[in-house]
């Protein structure tokens, strides 16, 4: 079986072993996807942008803990947009999915120290299925801004669960969660992986991979940047709160390092949580 962890080095290319891991396990983990100077730029933009922070909303995990999330529908021209439009992220997503992709949305997920809530077991397609998207030709790219470890609620996945197809989902607190009985049954057959990441590491995973994360009980925050992609051939059949197909302008990987725009978030189209019927959220 192909290994699932690889190290980033420029120029970056998607290998057959990476494709095999994605097909068999549902994910590919790239250590050092962002180099230190690039990570510093992305982190600065996320922390200092009044629009990114001001458009955050709060989700409740139904256990008294809360997390903050900011979602935007278009990548924009700032340094975070260069990341989601980069060849190493968007181009890799296209190669793993086997065709042209477009930017579905990006988000900053913020679990603050001691208070950050858990995210229940779910498939991303459990949410996105309700948006008129007919096929699970979608994926997420999860990039660690902070160190992600068990204590602060790192990502957990069931390896190979994307092969089980879409599982029924329902409302769990302010979230949409997978049928927990089915999840428990799958746990008896599939390996559970705690995805512990260093800042700058990234994991590309299929939209039907079951995943969860625990509450942050540590003294360290856990922020992650997630870019989500849909295959161009999978254009949604209905209008909804996320974009239908529009051509993605993929940029050279050097664009992250060369970009000097940290504050102009024009065109990112921040999402109003009231428009998304698959979540319950508040501005806080």
Q: Which residues of the chain have pLDDT under 50?
A: none
- Residue 269, classified by CB atoms within 10 Å of its CB into exposed (0-12), middle (13-18) or buried (19+), is middle
CA torsion 144-222-213-151 (nearest 10°) is 110
Find out whether 191 and 106 touch, Cβ atoms under 8 Å: no
The CATH class that applies to domain 15-249+258-282 reads mainly beta
Q: What is the pLDDT of residue 63?
A: 80
Q: How far apart are CA 217 and CA 174, in angstroms?
A: 20
Share of the chain above pLDDT 70, in %: 97
CA distance 73 to 49: 17
Q: What is the pLDDT of residues 124-172, one digit of tens each?
A: 999 999 999 999 999 999 999 999 999 999 999 999 999 999 999 988 7
Bridge partners, residue 197, by sequence: 148
Q: Which residues fall within 8 angstroms of residue 98, CB to CB, at 6 or more apart?
A: 231
Q: What's the pLDDT tens digit per position in 24-40? A: 999 999 999 999 999 99
The pTM of the full predicted model, rounded to 2 decimals, is: 0.95
Residue 160 pLDDT: 98
Longest dimension (CA), the chain: 49
Rounded Cα distance between 63 and 70, Å, is 21
Among candidates 228, 122, 240, which has minimal Cα distance to 170? 122
């Amino acid at each position: 079986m192909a290994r699932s962890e690889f190290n980033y080095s420029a120029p970056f290319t998607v290998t057959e072993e990476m494709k095999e891991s994605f097909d068999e396990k549902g994910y590919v983990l790239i250590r050092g996807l962002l180099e230190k100077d690039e990570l510093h730029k992305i982190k600065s933009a996320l922390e200092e942008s009044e629009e990114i922070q001001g458009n955050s909303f709060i989700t409740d995990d139904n256990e008294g803990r809360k997390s903050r999330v900011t979602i935007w529908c278009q990548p924009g021209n700032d340094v975070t947009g260069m990341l989601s439009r980069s060849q190493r992220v968007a181009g890799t997503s296209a190669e793993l999915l086997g065709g042209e992709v477009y930017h579905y949305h990006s988000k900053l997920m913020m679990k603050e120290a001691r208070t950050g809530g858990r995210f229940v077991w779910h498939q991303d397609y459990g949410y996105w299925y309700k948006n008129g998207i007919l096929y699970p030709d979608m994926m997420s790219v999860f990039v660690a801004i902070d160190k992600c470890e068990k204590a602060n609620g790192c990502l957990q996945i069931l390896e190979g669960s994307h092969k089980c197809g879409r599982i029924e989902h329902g409302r769990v607190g302010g979230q949409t969660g997978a049928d927990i009985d089915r999840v428990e049954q799958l746990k008896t057959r599939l390996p559970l992986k705690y995805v512990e990441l260093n800042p700058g590491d990234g994991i590309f995973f299929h939209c039907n991979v079951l995943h969860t994360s625990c509450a942050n009980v540590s003294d360290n925050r856990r922020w992650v940047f997630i870019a989500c992609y849909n295959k161009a051939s999978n254009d949604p059949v209905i209008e909804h709160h996320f974009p239908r197909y529009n051509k993605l302008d993929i940029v050279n990987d050097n664009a992250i390092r060369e970009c000097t725009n940290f504050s102009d978030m024009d065109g990112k189209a921040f999402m109003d949580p009231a428009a998304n019927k698959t979540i319950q959220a508040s501005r806080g």
